[in-house]
Amino acid sequence: MINPPIALYYMQGLNTTAVHAHGALYGVYGTLGLGLMLFCLRAMKPNLIWKEKPIALAFWAINIGLMLEIVLSLLPVGLLQTYQSVANGYWSARSPEFLQTTLMQNLRWLRMIGDTVFAVGAIAFVYFALGLMLRRKARLEVPVPVPEQV
């Protein structure tokens, strides 16, 4: 959506950029970072039984939160700015007169819904990771299978 020259002519630096930046940067490198962290945690303590509820909550909340941030707030603001840019000129899409309208203010406040869901996911992830690192071994470890003597 943002890549063709004609789109960039009207849209560069509007909220459509933030849509792409949030979706791509978090979607690619944020999730990759979390995935690699889990991979390392698993390798550090291979016998520990994982509590899957917090990590499942983190997965869904982070992904749904990011989606809500984009769909409820960033994208609508970006599309309205694009319309404004095409209709009245790029300058007007970034002008305070346009950005401070009630509709725009409300759309920016809608970010809170996605942000909150995302934050719940982030907290669940930290809770899970800390729990894994601090948990006492004895109770929750799977016994290592001893290979049978032939």
Distance CA 143, CA 47 (A): 7
141: left (phi over 0), alpha (psi -120 to 50) or beta: beta
Regarding 24 and contact with ligand HEM (CB under 6 A), the answer is yes
Nearer to ligand HEM, 80 or 132 (CB): 80
Binding status of residue 13 toward ligand HEM by CB under 6 A: yes
Applying CB under 6 A, does 28 fall inside the site for ligand HEM? yes
Q: Which of 9, 15, 19, 21 binds ligand HEM (CB under 6 A)?
A: 21
With 0-12 CB in 10 A as exposed, 13-18 as middle and 19+ as buried, what is 73? buried
- For position 71 contacting ligand HEM by CB under 6 A, the verdict is no
| C-beta separation of 54 from 123 below 8 A | no
Closest of 90, 87, 89 to residue 17, by C-alpha: 90
Residue 86 binds ligand HEM (CB under 6 A): no
> Out of 1, 9, 15, 17, which residue is the one contacting ligand HEM (CB under 6 A)?
17
Span from 23-31, 51-59, 76-84, 99-107 in contact with ligand HEM (CB under 6 A): 23-31
Q: Are 81 and 15 in contact (CB under 8 A)?
A: yes
Tell me which residues touch ligand HEM (CB under 6 A).
Answer: 2-3, 8, 11-13, 17, 20-21, 24-25, 28
